[in-house]
Amino acid sequence: MTTDHGPDLAPNAGRFSGFSDLYDSVRPSPPAALAEVLMAYRGRTDLDVVDLGSGTGLSTRWAARWAMSVTGVEPSSDMRSIAEGHPIPHVRYVAGYGHETNLDTDSADVVIAVQALHWMEPQSTFAEVARVLRPGGVFAAVDCDWPPTVGSAELERAWADCRKTIRVYETRLGHGAREEALHAPVGEADESAASGYSGRDAHVDRVLAEGVKSWSKDGHLERMSESGHFAWCHELALHQEEKGDAKRFVELLKSQGDYQTLLRNGLDDQTLGVDDLAATARRVLGPRERSWWFTYRVRVGVVAVAREA
């Protein structure tokens, strides 16, 4: 479905309403090394940056550490209100979508989309990115693998098992199941939905509820290359080390949009397997913080130095 102004992505924005505080408190920040990569591609350090799908401002505040100016573009007023509660002199937030930013043409050196591009209609977004970027500008789609590496096969497997269960229940919800059909225990008939889980690309072959749309993360690079808006596209992987305990591990899962959607539709933590995950996390990690490693996959697109006549 589209509107007069482009694809109707209002359900995507609404998916992340109601838990912005939790999201902001537990999600990781992009790796510091990414700033150096973007500066190298752009060939300068005095950068004007646009952050598409800026959410609660986590990635915007990260960019503010090294950019001359940053504009966060976010359609959710709930998320944007959290971001605006962390004022920084050279940072501003505006309402908008990836395909409709309302920003000036040739106004940015770098555009980033951190954990966000899979919620944006690709072709209209790439066209908008190319319009906003100056000649030689850089676009980076930045995605995080789930879960973080915590050094425990048991706990990482427990996360995957819980996420598979959540995927099954959202698949049911997306197909219209309600009441008993939605709440029934996971069985053999649900095997195909459960086996489709991927911590690297949870949006491949995904059935989503409530009119939400998403696009495969692993397809970002190919779509960028085929869009015709970038002179060069490349993929790289980076790591970010942070600290975490059992509470944060479970809350990371609870900061996912599908989990929150299922809560709104009457599912509970016992049914979704979150209680079992929490028990494993407490036993393995306890209250002590330890090092975690987040893997980020970055798809970079560089626009031509000179625009076509």
Encode pLDDT of 164-197 as tens digits: 999 999 999 999 999 999 999 999 999 999 999 9
Residues 243 and 240: their CA atoms lie apart, in Å, by 10
- Is 204 part of a structural domain of the chain? no
Do residues 230 and 281 touch, judged by C-beta distance below 8 A?
no
- Is 97 part of a structural domain of the chain? yes
| C-alpha closest to that of 79 among 108, 121, 51, 107 | 51
Residues 107 and 230: their CA atoms lie apart, in Å, by 17
Q: Helices (DSSP H) in 187-293: which residue ranges?
A: 191-195, 220-227, 246-254, 257-264, 269-272, 274-284
| C-alpha closest to that of 244 among 282, 292, 280 | 292
147-174 average pLDDT score: 97
265-287 average pLDDT score: 97
Pair 14, 124 in one domain:
yes
pLDDT digits 0-9 by tens, 221-230: 999 999 999 9
| Domain that residue 255 falls in | 153-198+246-284
Give the predicted TM-score (pTM) of the model. Answer: 0.95
Pick from 16-20, 72-76, 97-101, 117-121: least confident: 16-20
pLDDT band at 306 (very low <50, low <70, confident <90, very high): confident
Q: What does the block give as tokens for 100? A: 């409709």
pLDDT digits 0-9 by tens, 17-45: 999 999 999 999 999 999 999 999 999 99
Inter-axis angle of helices 257-264 and 153-174, to 10 degrees?
Answer: 50
Q: Is the pLDDT of residue 287 over 90?
A: no
- Per-residue confidence (pLDDT) for residue 1, from 0 to 100: 39
Pair 54, 112 in one domain:
yes
Q: Which residues of 177-206 are buried (b: 16+ CB within 10 A; e: fewer)?
A: beeeebeeebeeebeebbebbbeebbbbeb
- Is 203 part of a structural domain of the chain? no
- Is 251 part of a structural domain of the chain? yes
235-248 average pLDDT score: 97
Q: What angle do CA 15, 105, 40 make, to 5 degrees?
A: 85
Pair 188, 264 in one domain:
yes
- Per-residue confidence (pLDDT) for residue 6, from 0 to 100: 64
- Per-residue confidence (pLDDT) for residue 5, from 0 to 100: 52
Q: Is 46 exposed, middle or buried (CB count within 10 Å of its CB: 0-12, 13-18, 19+)?
A: exposed
pLDDT band at 286 (very low <50, low <70, confident <90, very high): confident
- Is 53 part of a structural domain of the chain? yes
Pair 83, 131 in one domain:
yes
95-110 average pLDDT score: 98
Pair 15, 67 in one domain:
yes
Mean pLDDT of the chain: 95
Pair 103, 129 in one domain:
yes
Pair 13, 62 in one domain:
yes
Q: What is the CATH number of the domain that holds 27?
A: 3.40.50.150
Instruction: Report phi then psi at 292, rounded to 5.
Output: -120, 155
127-147 average pLDDT score: 98
- Per-residue confidence (pLDDT) for residue 170, from 0 to 100: 97
Residues 174 and 211: their CA atoms lie apart, in Å, by 8
- Is 208 part of a structural domain of the chain? no
- Per-residue confidence (pLDDT) for residue 308, from 0 to 100: 61
Pair 41, 92 in one domain:
yes
Pair 173, 90 in one domain:
no
Pair 36, 70 in one domain:
yes
Q: What angle do CA 21, 98, 196 make, to 5 degrees?
A: 70
How many domains, the chain? 2
Q: What length is written for the chain? A: 309
Pair 16, 161 in one domain:
no
pLDDT band at 2 (very low <50, low <70, confident <90, very high): very low
Pair 73, 166 in one domain:
no
Q: What does the block give as tokens for 97? A: 């979508």
Q: Is the pLDDT of residue 294 over 90?
A: yes
- Per-residue confidence (pLDDT) for residue 7, from 0 to 100: 78
- Is 205 part of a structural domain of the chain? no
Q: What angle do CA 292, 214, 149 make, to 5 degrees?
A: 10
- Is 307 part of a structural domain of the chain? no
